[in-house]
Amino acid sequence: RLLLAVPVVVAGDSMRPTLRPGDRLWVDRHTLRWRSPRRGELVVGLPRSRPGLWIVKRIVGLPGECVELHRDCVSINGVPLAEPYLAGPTALIGCFTWRTGPDEYLLLGDNRAESDDSRLYGPFSRDRLRGPVRR
């Protein structure tokens, strides 16, 4: 618990092209004690439904927002979100709409077609975010 950072290894394709399987990262365990998580930041989250599973995803939705996913577009409170980190349009199956609670974040993978993220696990409360990742 005294460690400032914990190593993690990327296991799947859900964050391509940003991260690849086998990439080694560090989870900064203390940053989120002093500041709020930021949109666009890569973090490690722990889904409530999968104890022990650590997933690396990107924060898309912040507390108190209406987040809509439709085809290849994410909108925040009706405004399309610029996502320069994506390789191109992302294929989404179906449409999703969430209104996050006062302590909830939506996490999505950059490779949306291959990602188990908030679309499967739901929103992540702040206490389920272990911290931002560093290379």
Residues catalogued as catalytic: 14, 57
- Residue 36 contacts by C-beta under 8 Å, 6 or more apart in sequence? none
On whether the CB atoms of residues 65 and 78 are closer than 8 A, the answer is: no
**3-class secondary structure for the chain?**
CCCCEEEEECCCCCCCCCCCCCCEEEEECCHHHHCCCCCCCEEEECCCCCCCCCEEEEEEECCCCEEEEECCEEEECCEECCCCCCCCCCCCCCEEEEECCCCEEEEECCCHHHCCCHHHHCCEEHHHEEEEEEC
Record the tokens describing residue 21, joined without a space: 């399987």
